[in-house]
């Protein structure tokens, strides 16, 4: 197929390009060695810059001060003075916004004599400090991930975002081993309690940044993990002996140094085993910084102090004094100095007193300048602010964020394998969000899988409120609980109230309960007896959407606890569950190797369609490899623009009913041997014997080459010049007139017999054989088989199905497919259960029903039957139709249940004849040209379109499901703009182009 050929061409070019880029990358890497190494060009630049500075200006390079993009002009002027007058070496940005920070960075760089190193404390990404930016998982969440390549990828992405924002240094990773559950300052900032995993994950994060030219900084040396106080407010003490420090706290730092870390931050902690002077912070200790870090461990990179305004040092020394002591200890960069002018004066005095030499100062400055050279500051370029927000929040970054959170999810217990949940139709589900308001992402995602009754409760509610809720939940089969809005502090019970704990305990005795803790893993100690327990680590929209996917088997569980929460939940505990349930998961295009930027063209196609009146609105859903990667709504339900289309909007899917309803039942019966595709329809419907349809074979009927005319306007037989014939219709519903055609109009119970008789009596399309054919052949073939699309074939197949199952087809399909699949938005006769305002209107029927059709099937024949035809009648939203199509793509398997045998769907979706593109019931691409599908669709693609402006296509080669729903016939069925504009096919083209344009 063309898509494959094009892809191979691109791969060929991509392969050549890969090697070229690899050479360029290696060349760039060689020209940018670690900062302690020297090259001629680097030395020339460093020496040149050094010689251009006075002694005071060189000292200024040692300082990196705090900057904000959310403060007043006074703050900006203060920074201006430090940059222009005192020649400080860099800035560390804190709170603010990305665009404001970029503007300020450009300003500060423009007035600086030497390009500034810009840093940020962005342990979990820019979102740690800035609004309007992404937050990646905290390090303890990353500690649960078993594949460190994902952490490298995160480091790479954080580096990309940093560079895009003009940031050169990220003060991460923290490689403190959190061996103390009461640690108030490290906690979730640590990868965990296992020194080996802390080192491995720290290296992965560091290298992801370093390989993309952001300076990583390992912290907090020599190890801040086992402290019970916060160095921001006091001086913590580590009382371990030297052997313990060597074996544990120092281990990650040794490993990162042996690898390639280029900077380290020293902590404000007291470690008597290293320096037993009273109130001596390691930051100010020569024994720690010079003797241990530089000499014993052999670290040659940049050494940063922790912030010098923190009480761990500022409580004991005045501004300026602490800066001098930090330099004397061996640090290179003085971070967050409280008073730069005073500090410079103090350092000059120390020089005069020969407490420190000018040579030592120059060497520190050279290290800083070498770092600036490595970072590319010898060729500084201003930040481009255009599209900055979009670049920092692109779909690729969000896909990485989601992958990380998904791989961290940890199943701590799952008694009797309660989840992933497989059976939907015999279980009554409820959910409780403790600590959230209604309409939250957690409960909304649960709705994608099953019908839930949702409850919310304040996490600090009174016991009576919890008991009332307990009573209301007594009759539910499975209750899913989300514990939200907790905190990270052990001494505050992680923000979990006693009433909430009691409620969960009682609920687990009363109901089958799945508890998800959206918070600190140490809090699992409160739920040691929970039979089904998930740790999500953090509470945000991403984790709230992921946990339901885990519960219902859309994604697997692979995480393991990075810490010991309880004797039952030790470090490394985690039940790995590789889901074989095969339900949809939900993500971003890049999660399925599609390019989101390309898919943005779908927006313009749909918006243009709405603008030009091709339809008042539409839904578009795209799934790839079992993951919904695009699900958007456009426009309104009608042209009055009063009600926007939303995901729960239902559309009349028209002829897609043929494959979504009737054909599903037909396949079900065929694989059980109840239907033989090579038999005649009259074998199953004896009333056809003696008619012109006696010899019609099922295979010909399903491929639309049985000679059936396209359609019959049955309704015309039931009206006269005065209106609706009272023989067929009544305005009041009754046993005699049970079938709703529209509200206030009901057809007679026997109408189906009438329609069937008129169908049986209809003519066949006759095409005489050519006179040039041999006479013998003309005698054998009284009618030449020719493809002519017809609704009538599905009058026949519906009749066969109902004859064999002795049940109405809508009931059969609902019981055997829609309900067990969890499709609460896919059904016949929606007005019986769905509010009319959720249903898109179709035609303003001026010839038959003389009314606007909304919630009743548009097709006149199906409407006369009360809304259930073999060819029309189903209403759905895009999501539920996609689930049904995904089940077919998965060869009859979905959600842990087999609906059809694996061989059935391929039999029916295969092209049957050389002269006919059709499968059995399913439509397919034309062998030459695209026909109803994209030119790029594979030959194995199958699906169907609908008269109302709908389509659903499956490409098994590319594992794609594509659904488009609209009401293009509102208000006039003659509106052909959707077809003329080629909207549905254009969108499908974009899908395939997004695959070709994807880049790792």
- Among 187, 129, 194, which Cα is nearest to 158's? 129
d(CA 140, CA 187): 8
Looking at 375-497, list the stretches that DSSP marks H as alpha helix, in order from N- to C-terminal side: 388-392, 395-408, 441-446, 463-472
Per the CB < 8 A criterion, the answer to whether 109 and 91 are in contact is: no
d(CA 961, CA 941): 10
Q: Which of 708-729 are b and which e, b meaning 16 or more Cβ less than 10 Å from the residue's Cβ? A: beebbebbeebbeeeebeeebb
d(CA 3, CA 18): 21
User: Which candidate in 148, 176, 306, 595 is catalytic?
Assistant: 306
Element (H, E) at 221: strand 218-221
- Among 196, 145, 208, which Cα is nearest to 172's? 208
d(CA 185, CA 175): 13
* Bridge pairing between strands 874-876 and 826-828: antiparallel
Contacts (Cβ under 8 Å, ≥6 apart) of 586: 445, 448, 545, 549, 554, 627, 628, 631
Sequence length of the chain is: 1000
Looking at 380-533, list the stretches that DSSP marks H as alpha helix, in order from N- to C-terminal side: 388-392, 395-408, 441-446, 463-472, 498-510
Helix H, strand E, coil C: the string for 864-926 is HCCCCCCCCCEEECHHHHHHHHHHHHCCCEECCEECCCCCHHHHHHCCCECCECCCCCCECCC
DSSP 612: T
d(CA 252, CA 232): 23
Residue 700 annotated to the active site: no
How many other CB atoms sit within 10 Å of the CB of residue 64? Answer: 25
- Among 742, 745, 723, which Cα is nearest to 732's? 745
d(CA 737, CA 865): 11
CA dihedral (634, 637, 640, 642) positive or negative: negative
Contacts (Cβ under 8 Å, ≥6 apart) of 996: 3, 6, 7, 10
Give me 654's structure tokens. 């028209």
Give me 179's structure tokens. 């061996």
How many other CB atoms sit within 10 Å of the CB of residue 927? Answer: 12
How many other CB atoms sit within 10 Å of the CB of residue 633? Answer: 20
Per the CB < 8 A criterion, the answer to whether 727 and 743 are in contact is: no
* Residues recognised as catalytic: 306
């Amino acid at each position: 197929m063309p898509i494959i050929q094009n892809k191979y061409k691109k791969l060929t070019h991509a392969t050549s390009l890969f090697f070229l880029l690899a050479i360029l990358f290696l060349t760039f890497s060689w020209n940018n060695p670690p900062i302690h190494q020297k090259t001629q060009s680097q030395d020339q630049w460093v020496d040149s810059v050094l010689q251009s500075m006075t002694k005071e200006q060189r000292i200024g390079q040692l300082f990196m001060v705090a900057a904000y993009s959310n403060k007043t002009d006074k703050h900006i002027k203060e920074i201006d003075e430090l940059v222009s007058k005192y020649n400080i070496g860099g800035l560390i940005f804190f709170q603010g916004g990305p665009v404001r920070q970029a503007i300020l960075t450009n300003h500060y760089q423009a007035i600086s004599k030497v390009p500034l190193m810009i840093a940020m404390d962005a342990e979990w990404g820019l979102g740690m400090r800035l609004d309007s930016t992404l937050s990646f998982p905290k390090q303890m969440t990353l500690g649960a991930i078993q594949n460190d390549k994902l952490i490298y990828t995160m480091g790479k992405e954080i580096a990309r975002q940093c560079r895009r924002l003009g940031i050169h240094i990220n003060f991460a990773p923290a490689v403190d081993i959190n061996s103390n559950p009461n640690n108030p300052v490290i906690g979730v900032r640590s990868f965990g309690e296992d020194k080996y995993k802390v080192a491995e994950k720290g290296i992965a994060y560091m290298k992801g940044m370093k390989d993309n030219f952001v300076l990583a900084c390992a912290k907090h040396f020599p190890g801040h993990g086992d402290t019970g106080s916060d160095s921001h407010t006091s001086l913590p003490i580590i009382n371990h002996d030297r052997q313990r420090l060597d074996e544990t706290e120092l281990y990650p730092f040794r490993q990162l140094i042996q690898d390639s870390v280029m900077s380290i931050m020293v902590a404000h902690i007291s470690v008597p085993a290293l320096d037993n002077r009273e109130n001596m912070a390691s930051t100010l200790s020569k024994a720690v910084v010079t003797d241990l870090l530089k000499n014993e461990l052999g670290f040659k990179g940049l050494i940063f102090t922790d912030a010098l305004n923190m009480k761990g040092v500022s409580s004991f020394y005045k501004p300026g004094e602490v800066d001098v002591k930090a330099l004397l200890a061996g640090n290179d960069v003085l971070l967050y100095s409280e008073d730069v002018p005073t500090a410079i004066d103090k350092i000059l005095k120390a020089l005069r007193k020969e407490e420190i030499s000018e040579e030592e100062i120059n060497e520190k400055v050279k290290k800083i300048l070498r770092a600036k050279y490595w970072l590319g500051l010898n060729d500084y370029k201003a930040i481009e602010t255009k599209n900055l927000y979009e670049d920092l929040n692109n779909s690729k970054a969000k896909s990485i964020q989601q992958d990380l959170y998904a791989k961290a999810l940890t199943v701590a217990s799952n008694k009797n394998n309660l989840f992933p949940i497989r059976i939907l139709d015999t279980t009554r589900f409820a959910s409780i969000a403790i600590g959230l308001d209604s309409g939250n992402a957690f409960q909304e995602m649960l709705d994608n899988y099953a019908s839930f009754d949702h409850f919310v409760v304040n996490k600090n509610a009174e016991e009576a409120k919890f008991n009332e809720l307990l009573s209301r939940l007594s009759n539910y089969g499975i209750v899913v609980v989300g514990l939200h809005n907790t905190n990270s502090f052990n001494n505050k019970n992680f923000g979990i109230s006693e009433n909430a704990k009691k409620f969960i305990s009682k609920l687990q005795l009363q109901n089958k309960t799945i508890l998800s803790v959206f918070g600190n893993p140490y809090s699992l100690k409160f739920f040691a007896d929970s039979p089904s327990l998930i740790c999500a680590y953090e509470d945000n929209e991403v984790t709230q959407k992921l946990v339901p996917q885990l519960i219902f088997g859309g994604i697997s569980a692979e995480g393991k606890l990075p810490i010991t929460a309880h004797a039952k939940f030790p470090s490394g505990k985690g039940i790995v569950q590789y889901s074989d349930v095969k339900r949809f998961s939900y993500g971003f295009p890049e999660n399925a190797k599609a390019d989101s930027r390309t898919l943005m063209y779908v927006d313009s196609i749909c918006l243009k369609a709405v603008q030009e009146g091709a339809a008042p609105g539409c839904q578009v859903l795209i799934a790839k490899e079992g993951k919904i990667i695009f699900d958007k709504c456009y426009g309104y339900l009608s042209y009055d623009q009063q009600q926007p289309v939303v995901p729960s909007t239902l559309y009349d899917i028209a002829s897609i009913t043929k494959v979504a309803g009737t054909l599903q039942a037909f396949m079900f019966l065929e694989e059980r041997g109840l239907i033989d595709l090579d038999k005649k329809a009259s074998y199953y419907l004896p009333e056809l014997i003696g008619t012109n349809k006696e010899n019609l074979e099922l295979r010909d009927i399903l491929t639309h080459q049985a000679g059936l005319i396209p359609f019959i306007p049955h309704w015309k037989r039931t009206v006269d010049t005065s209106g609706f014939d009272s023989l067929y219709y009544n305005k009041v519903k009754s046993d005699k007139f049970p079938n709703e055609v529209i509200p206030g109009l009901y057809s007679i119970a026997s109408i189906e017999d009438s329609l069937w008789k008129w169908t049986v009596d209809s003519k066949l399309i006759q095409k005489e054989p050519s006179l040039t054919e041999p006479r013998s052949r003309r005698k054998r073939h009284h009618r030449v088989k020719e493809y002519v699309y017809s609704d009538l074939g599905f009058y026949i197949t519906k009749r066969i199905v109902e004859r064999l199952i002795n049940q109405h087809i809508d009931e059969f399909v609902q019981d055997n497919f829609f309900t067990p699949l969890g499709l609460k938005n896919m059904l016949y006769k929606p007005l019986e259960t769905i509010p009319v305002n959720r249903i898109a209107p179709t035609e303003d029927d001026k010839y038959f029903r003389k009314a606007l059709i909304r919630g009743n099937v548009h097709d006149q024949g199906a409407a006369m039957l009360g809304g259930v035809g073999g060819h029309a009648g189903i209403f759905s939203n895009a999501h539920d139709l996609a689930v049904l199509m995904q089940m077919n793509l998965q060869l009859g398997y979905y959600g842990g249940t087999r609906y059809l045998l694996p061989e059935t769907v391929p039999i029916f979706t295969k092209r049957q004849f050389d002269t006919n593109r059709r499968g059995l019931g399913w439509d397919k691409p034309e062998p030459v040209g695209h026909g109803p599908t994209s030119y790029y669709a594979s030959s194995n693609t199958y699906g169907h379109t609908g008269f109302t402006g709908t389509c659903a296509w499956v490409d098994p080669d590319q594992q794609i499901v594509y659904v488009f729903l609209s009401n293009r016939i509102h208000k006039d069925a003659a509106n052909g703009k959707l077809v003329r504009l080629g909207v549905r096919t254009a969108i499908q083209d974009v899908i395939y182009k997004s695959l070709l344009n994807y880049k790792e």
